[in-house]
Copies of this chain bind each other. A is one copy, B any other.
């Protein structure tokens, strides 16, 4: 039994703020750690608005109503030997469990982790512990610039370390990876975000546009995703 597969999410009822049925909606969060043996579930999140503020105000021992695991996570093809994981910001929370799953399947991971500054880089250690090769890139020293990341990717592809791409947390990186994926015919997956009410495919509020047989189709991030084919996503 797994508590959640990498890329799956939980829908959190964070009605914490005093005096309001507020925030009204649940908040979607990737399972950062879901350990079936201990029953432990961890989330890594950035405090943003009311929902995440309410989460941050929770005291140890308080209850949190979570719904999940939900959605379709990352898929690892047994034929892949080496994958490249590219993430930025809290997108790394979504990708970290993937690195562990890959390691468990003896797939080698190169993780390009992007952040504004070295001190803002998240989860690098967790990637390292899986045996992944971590390539941190930063805005502060210019190493996260598209042309620099492109160089990294070129090298990885040349070294045959890129059987598949996985990306999360940055529109710019998504577009960049889509281009590489297309040019080099390397498959890929992207974990996307969209505002969610139900999280169970009922309300159709979480749609995003995708390429489908030359047309544009709306797919629900909570139900058909949050992980989608890299090529099909419209960045």
Contact = CB atoms under 8 A, between A and B. Distances in A.
A21 interface: yes
Interface in A2-31: 13, 15-16, 18-22
B18 A19 contact: no
Of the four ranges (under 10, 10 to 19, 20 to 34, 35 or more), the interface on chain A belongs to under 10
Contact of A21 (B13, B16, B19): B19
Contacts of A21: 19-22
Contacts of A20: 20-21
Which of A18, A19, A20, A22 has the most chain B CB within a 10 Å cutoff? A19
A115 B18 CA distance: 36
Contacts of A13: 19
Contacts of A22: 21
A20 to B, nearest CB: 5
Nearest to A24: B19
A22 B15 CA distance: 12
A21 B19 CA distance: 4
Nearest to A20: B21
Interface string A72-110: 000000000000000000000000000000000000000
Interface of A: 13, 15-16, 18-22
